[in-house]
Each structure stands twice: as C-alpha cells, then as structure tokens.
Chain A
Amino acid sequence: MTSELLQFAFSGLTVGAVYALVALGFTLIYNASGVINFAQGEFVMIGGMSTVFLSALGVPLPIASIVAVAVAVLVGLLLWALAIEPARGASPVTLIIITIGASIFLRGLSQTVFDKQFHSLPPISGDAPVRLAGAAVLPQTFWVLGGSFAVVVLLWLFLERTLLGKAVLATAANRVAARLVGINTALVVGLSFGVSAAIGALAGILVTPITLTSYDVGTLLALKGFAAAMLGGMGNPFGAVVGGLAVGLIEAFGAGLISSDYKDAFAFLVILAVLFFMPAGLFGRRSVERV
C-alpha cells in the first residue's frame, strides 16, 4: 500500500510541477500587468512541439530545446507587443477574451505549421524505471522535478538579487509608484511575457517524454495552471508553486484511490471548497473594494 501511495505521489508531483510552472507564468504576467493570460498553456505546447519538430529535422536535442525556448519567448513578446500593449487600459474581461483569442490563434497556427498528431521526445536519461521504496519512477520524473526546482530558484534569485528583478517586484506592488521612480513599466510587462513564455516552454520540453504533446495540449494546462494560481492566491509566486503541486497531488491521489474518471473533478472540488472559505486563495492578499 505504501509503495502504491508513493507511486501516486510521484506521478502527482510530476504533473504538479508542470502546473506549478504554468501557474508561475500566470502569476508573473498578472503581477506585472494585471492580465490573466489564457494563452499560457500554448507556451508549453510551443516548447514541446518545436523541440519535437526541430529534432525530427536532425537538430541535436539540446540545441533544439534552446531554439524552442527562444521561439516561445519570441511568441510571448509578439503577443505582448501586438495584442496586449495596444489594448492597454481595456477592461479585465476584454483582455481575457484577447488572450483566449490569442490561444485559439496559436493553436490554429501550430495545427498548420506542425500537425495534429501526438508526439513524444526521447527521455533525457533513458526510460528504465528507477525502483524507489517499491515505486517505479521514470528517470524523466527527476528531470521534471529538478528542472522545475531550478526554475523556481533562478526566478527567486532574479527577483530578489538583480535590479531588473526588483523593478518587476516594484511594478507588481504599485505600477504608478514604480513609474514615478523611473522604472519603465512597459518594458517590465514585456519582460514578464518573455520570462513566462520561457518557463512554459521549458515545462513543455521536460514533460513531453512522459505525457506526450500535441497542438491542443495548451487548453487544459492553462485551465489547471489558472486554477492552481487561484488556489495558491493569484499574484503570489510561492502560492502558485504550492497550488500547482497541490492540484497535481489531488488529481493523482483522487484518480488512484477514488475514481480515475473524475480525476479532474477532485481538484476543482477542493478549489471550490478553499475559495469558499478563503476567497483570496491560500496565500493571497485580501483585496478591499474602493467606493
């Protein structure tokens, strides 16, 4: 029984790490601009699909991965420059529809540029499972977990230790005040789109050997990432990571112990319950309405 639970825990943490990275992307963009970017899942898809197709062209995997991240960053910056920046000041729901439009557009584009098949990538360290206290764990799982951890640490270092990172934090705290002290907030918003895209693409590359990828994987990931970010408290990076891992674990244990048909239901039931008692999420700031 314990080995079974450990098995569920590992698979939950693996998908949870991807949800956490997507939620982190939501959080970065939300903090810098107040926009909920529903095209976040498309970055994950672009990362995975670009790597698949580049390596099919004979490009070595490491280079293909780097180019794929660069492609995603470019798409993120274009999204910001062509769709978000021109709509500055529009209502939140209008901006949401714009990002949903962008996600539909990107899905259609990759359906044309790539194809509609499912694709996989070779695992980085082979596919012989590692025995761990009775649970069989794919080596790629450690890459996903380690990669996600590295991203979180690097992001933390960037935000806390560099001047540019502090500008991002200042913009998140108060955009007008940040502009008053001379921070180029438009640049910060653009940067947040680029970084979010890079994080999403990296998640897509790492997880493709386990979960496969296709042109339409982004929708569900965006949904789960958004839910995870809300669970942790929108705007809190730490909350996003905890929320992502929690959603992954709830899904894995719900599917393993209760019913795999209703695996997505458990996560949303827990989120509904949490929001009912803590409307700002687990680690979110309470907001006060101004009259």
Chain B
Amino acid sequence: MVARFATPLVLLVLIVGVFFAVDSSFILRVAALVFIYGLAAIGLNILVGDCGQVSLGHAGFLGIGAYATAVLPAQTGLHPLLAMVVGVVAAGLLALLVGRPVLRLRGHALAVATLGLGILVAMVITNEAWLTGGPDGMRVERLTLFGWRVRGADNWYWITAGVLLLGALVACSIKASPTGRALRAVHDSEVAAMVAGIDVARYKTLAFVISAVYAGVAGGLLALYDGFVTPDVAGFLNSIELITMVVLGGMGSVLGAVVGATILTALPQLLTAFSEYEHMVLGLIMMVVMIVLRAGIVPSLLALVGRGGRA
C-alpha cells in the first residue's frame, strides 16, 4: 500500500508546492510541458524499466495522439476530447498489432525495429500534407468544456498535473500488482519467466500497449495545450528525448521518469538565453549523469541515501 501511494503523494506535494512557490506564468507553462512529457516517460518506463524492452520510436505514438486530436476536429467536427480518445485508442491498437512481431526481437534488433516504426509514423505525418499540413504543422482547435474555453497557465497547470498524478497512480498500481511482477520477471530472464508459467509474448505486448496509451494521452494533451502540432512531435529526436528521460531519471522508477522529463524539458527552456550552448550543456549533463549515476538519478540517489542510513 505504501509503495503504491508514496510516489503519487510526493508528486502531489511537489505540484502544489511549485504552484504556490512560483509567481510566473512562464514557469507554470514550462511545468505543464514537464507534466505532459513526464506522463509519456512514466508510460515508456513501464516498457523499458519494468519489462526491459527498449523502444527508440515511442514519439510515433505521441504523434498519433497529437495528430488525432488535431485532425479529427478539423475534418469531422468531432469534439477535441473525443478526438483525443480516438487517438489514444489508435495508438494502443497499433501497439497491439505490431507488438507481437516486433517484440520477438531482442536488444539492438528491437532498438532498430522500433526506431523504424517511429520513423514510418513521422514520415506519414510529414508527407500526407492534405490531412496534416505537412512539415509546417497545423493548428489545433481550442478545447472547450461545457461552454468554458480552457485557457491560461493556471488551468493548464492543474489539468496536466491531474492527468500526470492519475498516470503515476496507475503506474504504481501496475508495479505493485501481479502484472508488475510478471513484467519484472520477463526483464530478469525470459526463460526463467517462461518456466514460471508467464506468457512472455503476452506480457511484452501488454507493456508495449500500456506505454503506447500513455504516449497517446500525452500527445493529445500536448496538441490541446500547444494549440499547434508539427511532425517534430513524432520525430526521431523526440523519441530519443523520451528514452533519455527514462534512463536519466532512473529505469523502473516512476519518480525518476518525472525527474528525467523535468531535466530534458525545462533545461532547454531555461537555456534559451544561451541558445548557442544549449546542446553542449544538454549533452554534457547526459554524459556526466550517466557516468556518475549509472542506474539513473532517482535510484542512484536512493541507494546513496540508503547506504548512508545503514552506516
């Protein structure tokens, strides 16, 4: 019980604390972006951290969620929220469809297969300009809930924070459940998991679908929040950022995913004044953190604290 609620509680305290500590709509806007990417990273972490399957194309699912939310209201007049639901279902279905054949692959073969998958999605979005606006992107209809136009940094802060908390709670529940244990067993040794009666292919696909659904929701939120989508959201660099968030923050750690998302999302925003050095600083941080804290920030620090406590 403690394990299930500890992380969401920590997040809740942080979210409320940040809201009252800062008095800048710029920071609230960046925070909302952090929450959206944090949600995607939490989902990806279930696949990568818990189940041990790497995906270098996860931004593809983000793109499906975002573009469903953008295209459907423009083409059919569907309500943006319903369009987002369609996008999330589509992301999940695609993961279900390709999950079994793709996840038969291991290690680097899996990496290149998921990479290809993400690139295919990004390419369709870029090239089918009649639907998606092509490389220039397209506007997204503003979200209206029961006649209330959702706008303002405060409101988006709380909406994205709420979805992030829900996502964290679900992820922690999965981790504490028999499903979570089965996923970790697949991670440790597929053969041993199979011997213990775990349907390895089924659980890998399940983790893939769950992570795709998280990414779909994050993509939809991103479209609604930004009011504009470009194919970059599904691009290779975004996929790399997502996996970096997971590994940097700490594989298998829900809090780590959010920490990783914070660093990779907030840092470029804060460094815009030094845009000349933005990439150098980001690359340097990635290298130094991974060399010093190999298991990722949160697990490594927890281990340090734990050792200190025992000593």
Contacts and interface: CB of A to CB of B under 8 A. Distances in A.
Partners in one complex: yes
Interface stretch (A3-11, A45-53, A262-270): A262-270
A275 B105 contact: yes
B41 interface: no
A105 interface: yes
A208 interface: no
Interface in B285-299: 285-287, 290-291, 294
A174 interface: no
A94 B276 CA distance: 27
A18 to B, nearest CB: 18
B189 A94 contact: no
B289 to A, nearest CB: 8
Given A101-B283, A103-B283, A108-B283, A268 B244 contact: no
Interface stretch (A59-67, A69-77, A82-90, A193-201): A82-90
Nearest to B116: A268
A87 B291 contact: yes
B112 A226 contact: yes
B109 interface: yes
Contacts of A109: 280
Main secondary structure of the interface of A (DSSP, over half): helix
Nearest to B294: A90
Contacts of A107: 279, 283
Interface residues of B, number: 48
Interface in A250-291: 261-262, 264-265, 268-269, 271-272, 275-276, 279-281, 287, 289, 291
B54 interface: yes
B278 interface: yes
B301 interface: no
Given A83-B291, A98-B286, A104-B279, A93 B251 contact: yes
Nearest to B192: A291
Given A91-B294, A107-B279, A100 B113 contact: no
Contacts of A105: 279-280, 282-284, 286-287
For chain A, the bracket of interface size reads: 35 or more
Given A97-B286, A104-B279, A108-B277, A261 B127 contact: yes
B246 to A, nearest CB: 9
A227 interface: yes
A291 B106 CA distance: 15
Nearest to B282: A104
B217 to A, nearest CB: 24
A99 B190 CA distance: 28
Contacts of A108: 277-283
Give the secondary structure class of B's interface.
helix
A205 B155 CA distance: 53
Interface in B82-107: 101-102, 104-107
B214 interface: no
B240 interface: yes
A223 interface: yes
B74 interface: no
A98 B109 contact: no
B279 A100 contact: no
A112 interface: yes
B119 interface: yes
B6 interface: no
Given A223-B115, A265-B120, A291-B192, A102 B280 contact: no
Contacts of A83: 287, 291
B249 to A, nearest CB: 11
Interface string B262-281: 00000000000000111111
22 contacts: A83-B291, A87-B290, A91-B294, A92-B107, A94-B247, A98-B291, A100-B244, A101-B244, A105-B280, A105-B282, A105-B283, A108-B277, A109-B280, A112-B277, A223-B115, A223-B236, A226-B112, A264-B119, A275-B109, A275-B112, A279-B104, A291-B189
Interface of A: 36, 83, 86-87, 90-94, 96-98, 100-109, 111-112, 219, 223, 226-227, 230, 234, 261-262, 264-265, 268-269, 271-272, 275-276, 279-281, 287, 289, 291
Q: Which 6 A-B pairs have the closest CB atoms?
A: A108-B279, A105-B283, A101-B286, A268-B116, A104-B283, A108-B280
Given A94-B247, A105-B286, A230-B112, 17 more contacts: A97-B243, A98-B290, A100-B286, A101-B284, A101-B285, A105-B279, A107-B283, A108-B277, A108-B278, A223-B115, A223-B119, A227-B116, A234-B108, A262-B123, A264-B123, A272-B113, A289-B191
Interface of B: 48, 54, 101-102, 104-109, 111-113, 115-117, 119-120, 123, 126-127, 189-192, 236-237, 240, 243-244, 247-248, 251, 276-287, 290-291, 294
